[in-house]
Amino acid sequence: MTTALETAQTQWLRAEGGRPALVVVDVQRDFADPERLGDYGLTPEASTALAAAVARIAELVDAARRSKIPVVWVELGSDPAEPWRASRWLRSGNTAPLDDEPCVVGTDGAEWFGAVPVAGERRIVKRGYSGFVGTDLAAHLRAENVGWVTVCGLTTECCVAATAQDAMQEDWPVVVPSDATAAYEIALHEAALTTIALNVAVVMPSEQVTHLWTEPRP
């Protein structure tokens, strides 16, 4: 159910938000292809939700293209020679590079899955969680005169949350479509959306996002 606050926020986005953009985060084989996810122990429900989210992301991309809204693709490009200083690396107690980094540059695990960029759409390669850290994503969005952003992709609690938060801290209003992102646990996805909605972005179904893109301004 749409709350009065959400209605006011979406009305503001449509009336005053300016040009929207769609930012697609990490929908790559190592994160989205069921054949690559066996070690994550997804339940059947989580697997179904992940597949549905990937399909919905592709639909959002198509809708953005029809509406002439810029689509920016943020992708992880790991360097196996440089380990992440993330919790998994720290827990290992080993300073050597991990032998199973996801989305290593030049491997098929780094390929897009379910939706792919087309000519003219910007691709941003990152090394960590946020699409803004160590990249020119903010500069690109400003050059495109983007007024607010929709962030979708994988996974909800990690790279989507990090990218959405940094977009907000770079002074863009942010929308996260609840059905166009997923985590490997249903409860984790739902908790992440709760936190994102509390602190960072307006969370709404993707159908409502596309209405914001297409409805005329008041």
Assigned domain for 183 exists: yes
At residue 127, does pLDDT exceed 70? yes
Assigned domain for 101 exists: yes
Assigned domain for 172 exists: yes
At residue 5, does pLDDT exceed 50? yes
Strand partners, 175: 150, 202
The pLDDT assigned to 120 comes to 96
Mean pLDDT of 177-182: 98
Assigned domain for 218 exists: no
Structural domains of the chain, count = 1
Assigned domain for 76 exists: yes
H helix or E strand, kind and range, residue 152: strand 146-154
Location of structure tokens 């030049």? 106
The pLDDT assigned to 1 comes to 38
Q: Dihedral through CA 175, CA 132, CA 102, CA 59, nearest 10?
A: 30
Average pLDDT for the chain: 90
Instruction: Identify which of 109, 134, 108, 136 has the alpha carbon closest to the alpha carbon of residue 123.
Output: 136
Assigned domain for 125 exists: yes
Query: Taking CA 162 as the corner, what is the angle to CA 17 and CA 50, rounded to the nearest 5 degrees?
Result: 95
What pLDDT digit, counting tens, does each position of 67-95 carry?
999 999 999 998 877 766 665 555 555 55
DSSP code string of 78-121: B-TTS---SHHHHHHT--SPPTT-SSBTTSGGGSB-S----TT-
Assigned domain for 29 exists: yes
Which tokens in the block code for residue 49?
């939700």
C-beta separation of 81 from 214 below 8 A: no
Which residue range is the domain that position 62 belongs to? 4-213
Indicate the pTM of the whole model. 0.91
Assigned domain for 114 exists: yes
Q: How far apart are CA 137 and CA 59, in angstroms?
A: 23
H helix or E strand, kind and range, residue 71: strand 71-76
The CATH number given to whatever domain includes residue 51 is: 3.40.50.850
The pLDDT assigned to 213 comes to 93
C-beta separation of 146 from 175 below 8 A: no
The pLDDT assigned to 145 comes to 97
The pLDDT assigned to 84 comes to 67
At residue 193, does pLDDT exceed 50? yes
Mean pLDDT of 106-132: 95
Strand partners, 19: 146
What pLDDT digit, counting tens, does each position of 15-72 carry?
889 999 999 999 999 999 999 998 889 999 999 999 999 999 999 999 999 999 999 9
